Amino acid sequence: MPSAVGRARRTFEPFARVLLALVLVACSGPTHEPGPPEAPYDPLALPEAVDSNPDPHIFETTLEARVENLELIAGTTTPVWTYDGLLPGPLIRVAVGDRLIVHFTNDLPEETTIHWHGLRIPNDMDGVPDVTQPGVMPGGSFTYDFTVPDAGTYWYHPHYDSAEQVGYGLYGPIVVTDPNEPKDLGSEHVLVLSDMNLNPDGSLIPGDDAGDLGTLFGREGNTFLVNGKVNPLVTVPSGSRQRWRMINAAKSRYYQVGIQGQTFTRIGGDDGFIAAPQPLDRVVITPAQRADVVFDVALPPSSQVPVLWIPYDRGFGSVEFRNSATIFTLATDDHAPVTPPPLPALSRDIEPIDVSSATTQYLQLTENDQDGHVMLGINGVPGSQAQPLMAGVGDTQIWVVENTMDWSHPFHIHGFFFQVLDTNGVPPAVAEWRDTADVTVYGTTRLAVKFTDRPGMWMFHCHILDHADAGMMGMVHLHP
């Protein structure tokens, strides 16, 4: 356009004036001067929460839960349940040791709370309605205020009607940075992986879709989302090092992520770095888990490849007749491949928890019939009727978690990291701290947990949220 205007001005002055006027009206910005080059558009970029507190070690912000109409599928609108109108909610980026203050208001048509998944914070900040705080009613508010003790990738989500509320879009990422972390880990993206169950017109499919069968399987959404987008195109330099902090925020779907011809190095999990980097062809992330992976893009310039969700066997019906699906498309620009510096040596001392004087708790993940309806539970009892387990501050316990069902369960404990001792007798390949561990179909996972501090009532549950809501929940009463 500008060059056409220039040429016109020289030869057909009156016509050029009209054309110039049209151009100026059409552009909201008045200038055609060449400005500084714009940063390339990054469809994975996440809006960040804004810190209003001048103290560099206090991050103070607001969050509002509300329904917002978003265009997830082109040409349709979806009434998404959001934090601040965003899907996912704003990225909260704080440094380890910072104090985080969140003034939360609820503008949803339903009670809610915020649970800070994976953060070792005081019990009264844990966000479980009627257990650690009163639920936040529509129009109500609550201030969360705590210190963030561990570096890593975490997330936040409600703990009321969580299958429905998380399934409708209420979740957001938290990155706790460590200023002493090694450099050269690559260009960082936080990837909030999720899915949503939508009708063709964009409306939400109700959370009780498919009845008891839906509950048993755990409802997976029919629309894959990464950072709230459907199959975005992400362009990076060929050969460049990428660091993906992935969060599985789906209420039921396991993510097995792979790229044809690409290997990954997993460097972190639920609680920051793992003991040593782990090479992987595919990255498996159960609901609620996080995976921090780095890789040098093994794709020639000017090409593209799908980043795939690959069916993962989590029980009956999870792999049969199912195909891989594209989560997003990774493309390279036309520049010559770059060569990043070697990956810095990474290691973290993770002392095995001393279990020599541990007591043992046996937990069976169970399925019962109640009045002709599926009821899930722990040791045959739904969470609402269960007596809490007991533990004292300073105690170490071994939890033997046994799955009696045809579907896997990602088992989550609030407030404390644990170490998996073994899964079906096999110890983990790399030592790491977890807050969520897979318990396979008819399998047993043994984990060790040390209740170091912070007495109170702490939840544990399956993080297939349909299972949790159907009763697969419990509490441990940690007494001083």
Q: Out of ligand C2O, Cu ion, none, which partner does residue 290 contact, by CB within 5 to 8 A per kind?
A: none
Is 120 among the residues that bind ligand C2O (CB under 6 A)?
no
Coil vs helix vs strand at 211? helix
How do beta strands 172-177 and 92-95 pair?
Answer: parallel
- Provide the minimum distance between the beta carbon of 460 and Cu ion in the complex, in angstroms, as a whole number: 12
Conformation bin of residue 315: beta by default, left when phi > 0, alpha when psi is -120 to 50? left
Is 467 among the residues that bind ligand C2O (CB under 6 A)?
no
**C-beta closer to ligand C2O: residue 314 or 414:** 414
Q: Count the Cβ atoms, other than its own, within 10 Å of residue 420.
A: 20
Q: Count the Cβ atoms, other than its own, within 10 Å of residue 361.
A: 16
Partners of residue 91 on adjacent β-strands: 48
Q: Which one of residues 80, 84, 91, 159 is an interface residue with ligand C2O (CB under 6 A)?
A: 159
Q: Which one of residues 125, 459, 462, 476 is an interface residue with ligand C2O (CB under 6 A)?
A: 459
Q: Out of Cu ion, ligand C2O, none, which partner does residue 189 contact, by CB within 5 to 8 A per kind?
A: none
User: At a CB cut-off of 8 Å and minimum separation 6, what does 264 contact?
Assistant: 279, 280, 281, 282, 283, 293, 294, 295
**C-beta closer to ligand C2O: residue 115 or 266:** 115
**C-beta closer to Cu ion: residue 409 or 434:** 409
Q: Out of ligand C2O, Cu ion, none, which partner does residue 115 contact, by CB within 5 to 8 A per kind?
A: ligand C2O
**C-beta closer to ligand C2O: residue 290 or 414:** 414
Q: Which one of residues 65, 148, 185, 288 is an interface residue with ligand C2O (CB under 6 A)?
A: 288
**Cα–Cα dist 270/350, whole Å:** 14
**Cα–Cα dist 55/261, whole Å:** 47
Is 434 among the residues that bind ligand C2O (CB under 6 A)?
no
Query: Where do runs of H (alpha helix) occur along 86-136?
Result: none
Show the tokens assigned to 284.
């498996």
Partners of residue 97 on adjacent β-strands: none
In the block, tokens 């989560």 appear at: 327
**Cα–Cα dist 248/259, whole Å:** 17
Is 412 among the residues that bind ligand C2O (CB under 6 A)?
yes
**Cα–Cα dist 231/228, whole Å:** 10
Is 414 among the residues that bind ligand C2O (CB under 6 A)?
yes
- Provide the minimum distance between the beta carbon of 467 and Cu ion in the complex, in angstroms, as a whole number: 3
Q: Out of Cu ion, ligand C2O, none, which partner does residue 159 contact, by CB within 5 to 8 A per kind?
A: ligand C2O
Run of H or E including 188: strand 187-196
**Cα–Cα dist 229/459, whole Å:** 32
Coil vs helix vs strand at 257? strand
**C-beta closer to ligand C2O: residue 60 or 161:** 161
- Provide the minimum distance between the beta carbon of 130 and ligand C2O in the complex, in angstroms, as a whole number: 14
Q: Out of Cu ion, ligand C2O, none, which partner does residue 462 contact, by CB within 5 to 8 A per kind?
A: Cu ion
Q: How many Cα neighbours within 13 Å face the side chain of 93? A: 12
Query: With 0-12 CB in 10 A as exposed, 13-18 as middle and 19+ as buried, what is 105?
Result: middle
Q: Which one of residues 461, 462, 466, 470 is an interface residue with ligand C2O (CB under 6 A)?
A: 461
Binding site for Cu ion (CB under 5 A): 409, 462, 464, 467
**C-beta closer to Cu ion: residue 401 or 462:** 462
Site residues (CB under 6 A) for ligand C2O, limited to 4-33: none
Q: How many Cα neighbours within 13 Å face the side chain of 338? A: 18
Could you say which DSSP state residue 223 is in? E
| Coarse DSSP helix, strand, coil percentages of the chain, rounded to the nearest 5 percent | 10, 40, 50
**C-beta closer to ligand C2O: residue 202 or 410:** 410
Choices 47-55, 61-69, 447-455, 456-464; region in contact with ligand C2O by CB under 6 A:
456-464
Q: Out of Cu ion, ligand C2O, none, which partner does residue 467 contact, by CB within 5 to 8 A per kind?
A: Cu ion
**C-beta closer to Cu ion: residue 447 or 462:** 462
Is 121 among the residues that bind ligand C2O (CB under 6 A)?
no
Total binding residues toward ligand C2O, as defined by CB under 6 A = 10
**C-beta closer to Cu ion: residue 227 or 436:** 436
- Dihedral pair phi/psi, residue 469, rounded to 5°: -65, -25
**C-beta closer to ligand C2O: residue 157 or 314:** 157
Q: Out of ligand C2O, Cu ion, none, which partner does residue 459 contact, by CB within 5 to 8 A per kind?
A: ligand C2O
**C-beta closer to ligand C2O: residue 160 or 407:** 160
User: At a CB cut-off of 8 Å and minimum separation 6, what does 465 contact?
Assistant: 162, 163, 166, 167, 218, 251, 252, 287
- Provide the minimum distance between the beta carbon of 157 and ligand C2O in the complex, in angstroms, as a whole number: 6
Helices 13-26 and 2-11 pack at an angle, to 10 degrees, of: 160
Is 117 among the residues that bind ligand C2O (CB under 6 A)?
yes
Interacting residues toward ligand C2O by CB under 6 A: 115, 117, 157, 159, 288, 412, 414, 459, 461, 463
